[in-house]
Structure 1
Amino acid sequence: MKTKTADMGGWNLAYTDQGEGVPVVLLHGFCGSGAYWDEIVPLLESGCRVIVPDLRGHGASGSPNESYSMESMAGDIGKLIDGLGLGENKPVVLGHSLGGYVTLALAEKQADRLRAFGLVHSTAYPDDEKGRAGREKAKQTIQEQGLPAFLDGLIPKLFAPAHLQSMPEAVRKAREIGLGTSPEGAMRTLEAMRDRPDRNAVLWETRLPVLLVAGASDQVIPEERTFSVSGETISQQRIEAAGHMSMMETPGILAQIIKNFISGL
């Protein structure tokens, strides 16, 4: 996939853009990159225009010396949507984990630019006290021991326990992708995730179709925190064999869920 860049005013946002049809923007999780979606893109691109950015501080994107709030990151994606001329042909935005927090911020402020949105192994809830303490501990680990040491603790939690042995290549790839994160960007993103607000009201109040995807073996975000809201416009999908990384663990199942959601719009 050929990487392109969009000028964000002093730094560049990296992204890929391929396929034709309904535009779908896929946002990756923390210490990830667009490469998280490598197995999903080929399964969608026959019927969709699939746009996959690297969030600020992650992957091949720049790491600006400024706020990494969910609102700032959502602003980056809004600029990308504008730059690609998707004003008329509104995109579906789906966010994994951190990408889901960004998606919710985008849906809160710029819903009129979206066709639909979704959370993949993500939640509208804010961090609780334990979660906030965990962000601080993670930041301290990166500061004192470096990003590789932090990733050694993070990566095993992302996969269903059974997949750590059965999918060594996927686990290795996730760690390699993580090493492409700017340590400074990772620490700023941890602060932003720690401070993000409760956005369940976005799910309650939206008139847009919403997709919620949870993994039965997710050790990071349990399914009840993903399925926080139900309603006529909300599709809840549970993947039995997945942990936090269905795009790598069960790509065929996740791609089919996304295709079914899009075909129903």
Structure 2
Amino acid sequence: MNKKVCEGTTIYYADEGKGDSVIVLLHGFCGSSAYWDDVIPLLSTHYRCIVPDLRGHGQSDAPKGAYSMEEMADDVLNLLMELDIPQASLFGHSMGGYVALSAVQRHPERFHAFGLIHSTAHEDTEEGKEKRLKAVSTIETEGITAFVDGMVPGLFAPQHLETMADKVIKAKEIGYATPPQGAAGAALAMRERPDRRDVLTATPLPVLLVAGEHDQVVPAARTFTADKSNIQQSIISGAGHMSMMEAPQELAKVIKGFLEGLAG
């Protein structure tokens, strides 16, 4: 892992591949760049992959207090500036998709294209907002391990809990390493994020929307909120919320096909 200090915040990141085109991959809540371990080798043969640990996650700084999607997006934008990367294609998984939407909404000129992977442009429902507060309470009273143990099984398609037990364990271990104050800060950021469906309907940029056939966290209907000529919708067969672990070859194929279509 590499690191850069971005406007006072230390961000760790993987930097793999040497292609002229740059892909940025953002992980989800209580994840890290390691979520993408199975996908990076499949993409880095053709693209340079920048894969950060978002604020509050992995090895990156985890300030105390509530975060915002704008702060988390600015960390990514500042990292790209530090790396002298003027433009990239940005793909965000789950929470990473919320970060991507904030970045694209405010700085569309910095991106060739973007994608939401098991994510949504909707804001949290009222029930969802209550769940964020419960998550913070669980993290603060029972600890990050108990919270992750309760969260991770629901991220995978039910049939994969046994057939991909090693992947489930890896996702839990990544989650255990999340600083508790980072998880709490990010949960509050997700709770307060606005509805950004207008970003999808208004953007002229090419957009990739990816849903898992058996995603119990973000159903396809909440991912596929816009249907335009510049938007590609793809469903990963058999996957839950974690296609980067459950079906990495299929996800990489979808991303590569999307990007090759732009080049064509």
Measure the CA separation in 1 of the matches of 2:63 and 2:138.
Answer: 22
Instruction: Report the Cα offset of residue 8 of structure 1.
Output: 2.1
* Counterpart residue number, 2:16: 18
Letter of the aligned partner of 1:101 in structure 2?
Y
Name the residue aligned to 1:237. 234
Q: C-alpha deviations, 1:85-137, integer Å up to 9, x for none?
A: 111xx210000000000000001001001000000000000000110111111
TM-score, normalized by length of structure 1? 0.97
**Which residue of structure 1 aligns with residue 179 of structure 2?**
182
Query: Could you tell me which amino acid in structure 2 is paired with residue 130 of structure 1?
Result: E
RMSD across aligned positions (CA): 0.8
Residue in 2 aligned with 1:56?
55
Residue 96, structure 1, aligned to residue 93, structure 2:
yes
Tell me, in whole angstroms, the C-alpha distance in 1 between the residues paired with 2:143 and 2:52. Answer: 25
Matches of 1:143 and 1:67, distance apart in 2: 14
- TM-score, scaled to structure 2: 0.97
Q: State the one-letter code of the partner of 1:103.
A: A
Alpha-carbon distance in structure 1 between the residues aligned to 2:145 and 2:66 = 24
Letter in 1 for 2:231: I
- Distance in 1 of aligned mates of 2:60 and 2:73: 15
- Equivalent in the alignment of 1:210: 207
The gaps in structure 2 that reach 5 residues or longer are none
Separation (CA, whole Å) in 1 of partners of 2:214 and 2:134: 24
Deviation of 1:67 after TM superposition, in Å, equals: 4.8
**Alpha-carbon deviations, 1:152-189, whole Å to 9, x = none?**
11000000000001001000000000011110111111
- 1:144-163 aligned at under 5 Å gives the runs 144-163=141-160
After superposing on structure 2, the runs of 4+ consecutive aligned residues of structure 1 that deviate more than 4 Å are none
**Secondary structure of the structure 2 residue equivalent to 1:32:** coil
How many residues are aligned here? 261
Shift of 1:64: 2.3
The aligned residue for residue 132 of structure 2 is: 135
TM-superposed CA distance for 1:11, in Å, is 3.1
Whole-angstrom distance in 1 between the partners of 2:122 and 2:40: 28
**Distance (Å, rounded) in 2 between the aligned partners of 1:262 and 1:64:** 35
Structure 1 CA distance for aligned equivalents of residues 41 and 77 of structure 2: 24
Q: In the alignment, is the contact (CA less than 8 A) between 2:6 and 2:82 conserved in 1?
A: no
Confirm whether residue 192 of structure 1 aligns to residue 194 of structure 2: no
User: For 2:160, what is the secondary structure of its paired residue?
Assistant: helix
The unaligned stretches of length 5 or more in structure 1 are none
Query: Offset at 1:66?
Result: 5.4
Cα distance in 2, alignment partners of residues 86 and 64 from structure 1: 26
